Amino acid sequence: MRILYLEDDPSNLALVERVARMHNDELVTVQHPQEAYNELVAAPFDIFITDIQLGPDVMDGLDFTAYLRENGLDIPIIAITAYDYDDYKRRSAEAGTTYHIVKPVSVGDLVALFDQFR
């Protein structure tokens, strides 16, 4: 499975990298929405994961998700965040995410989530 992960904090990549290695998935990581867009138009992916908070002066993951959905991206999009607020969950659903998960995420939960798309 090919997975694209938009995450601006390299330390947060460890869990997804671990799960991808366990299943011999191909994981491509990027730190900016423009890089993610370039990857998405260059080659197909099975899942797109985006952090919600991507740093100052950068489109957040939910706005980027809405943009991708408006432009026809129909693969599963998983929003991942450390913020467990109802507003984020509502915005996530409105943007078109397939799943909204809150950090910390266990290895087992992430494996089970990915297995839905294998």
Question: Residue 70 is part of a domain; what is its CATH number?
Answer: 3.40.50.2300
Q: How far apart are CA 27 and CA 49, in angstroms?
A: 10
* Enclosing domain of residue 79: 2-115
List, for residues 20-48, the tens digit of each pLDDT value.
Answer: 999 999 999 999 999 999 999 999 999 99
pTM for the structure as a whole: 0.94
Which among 117, 5, 99 is positioned nearest to 54, based on CA atoms? 5
Using alpha carbons, list the distances in angstroms from residue 47 to 57, 85, 87, 110, 113: 26, 24, 24, 12, 11
Query: Is pLDDT above 90 for 103?
Result: no
Total domain count, the chain: 1
State the distance between the two ends of the chain, measured CA to CA, in whole angstroms.
Answer: 7
